[in-house]
Amino acid sequence: MIKIHLSKMLGERRITQRRLAEMADVRPNSVNAIYNEKAQRIDLDVLDKICKALDCQPGDLLERVDD
């Protein structure tokens, strides 16, 4: 399974979901789904924009863990 660390990263940086959506120029609904780990799939363009906005790598946001 894939664990998403967006909520932790935003909390550490004190960035709201809405602010990230503005910074990354993505829909707030997309950020919310990823933040709450409800996304069934993540568009690579959205992931790229979020990584650019947060100055991080995809591996900083996503982690594969055993079930």
Closest to 20 measured CA to CA, from 58, 64, 55, 44? 55
pLDDT greater than 90 at residue 63: yes
Q: Are 60 and 13 in contact (CB under 8 A)?
A: no
Residue bearing tokens 């069934």: 40
Question: CA–CA separation, 65 vs 13, rounded Å?
Answer: 24
Q: Are 37 and 4 in contact (CB under 8 A)?
A: yes
Per the structure, the count of domains in the chain is: 1
Confidence of residue 67 (pLDDT cuts 50, 70, 90): confident
- Look at the chain and count its residues: 67
Residue 22: the pLDDT is 98
Model pLDDT for residues 1-51, shown as the tens digit of each residue: 999 999 999 999 999 999 999 999 999 999 999 999 999 999 999 999 999
pLDDT greater than 90 at residue 60: yes
Question: CA–CA separation, 63 vs 66, rounded Å?
Answer: 10
Question: Which CATH number does the domain housing residue 54 bear?
Answer: 1.10.260.40
pLDDT greater than 90 at residue 53: yes
